[in-house]
Amino acid sequence: MIKKRVSSQLPVSRMTKAGRLFFLLLFTNAVGYVGSGFLTPEARVWYHTLQQAPLTPPDMVFGVVWTILYFLMAVSAFLVWGKASPRWFVMQLAMTLIWPFVFFYLREMGIALGVAVLLAFFLILAIRDFARASHTAAALLLPVLLWSMFAIYLNTYVVWYN
């Protein structure tokens, strides 16, 4: 009788390179898609009643920028797949999902600011860990960090002036 060897690896770890990249693109963009669901028509109306920061971009800019940033996150994670711990990357990605829930759904602007700060903090840790495995992967997260810092500015302004 021939025994079939059972692999102890998770299905994700047995993926081809193209499959890994596709998985990461799908995963990061799914986070963005779910997060955008908290921006309901009512939440948009509420948001536009708030005093906005002078540098607040038009609404359509946010969707375009976040789509690009999710792409950069996926490629960054792909480059360090199996070479760096994903814990801080996953934590920052979780914060990108939690922030719109807290800000737009719960309308807790102060708590959302704390979530944004945590997002930036976890990004810094992810960049540090990714840099040990790939400088390119770390560099791809820098625009995400810069945009997150900008989001902290926007969120802080809303908290202070509303």
- Residue 81, pLDDT score: 95
Do residues 97 and 112 make contact, with C-beta atoms less than 8 angstroms apart?
no
- Domain CATH number, residue 146: 1.20.1260.100
Distance CA 145, CA 15 (A): 29
- Structural domain includes residue 53: yes
Distance, first Cα to last Cα, the chain? 74
Question: What percent of the chain has a predicted confidence (pLDDT) above 90?
Answer: 90
Question: pLDDT tens digit string along 79-127?
Answer: 999 999 999 999 999 999 999 999 999 999 999 999 999 999 999 999 9
Q: Which domain range does residue 61 map to?
A: 18-161
Q: Please check the confidence at residue 3 and state whether its pLDDT lies above 90.
A: no
Distance CA 111, CA 102 (A): 7
pTM of the model: 0.89
- Structural domain includes residue 155: yes
- Structural domain includes residue 13: no
Domain count, the chain: 1
- Structural domain includes residue 138: yes
- Structural domain includes residue 6: no
Question: pLDDT tens digit string along 148-158?
Answer: 999 999 999 99
- Structural domain includes residue 45: yes
- Residue 8, pLDDT score: 44
Q: Stretch 54-75: mean pLDDT, rounded? A: 97
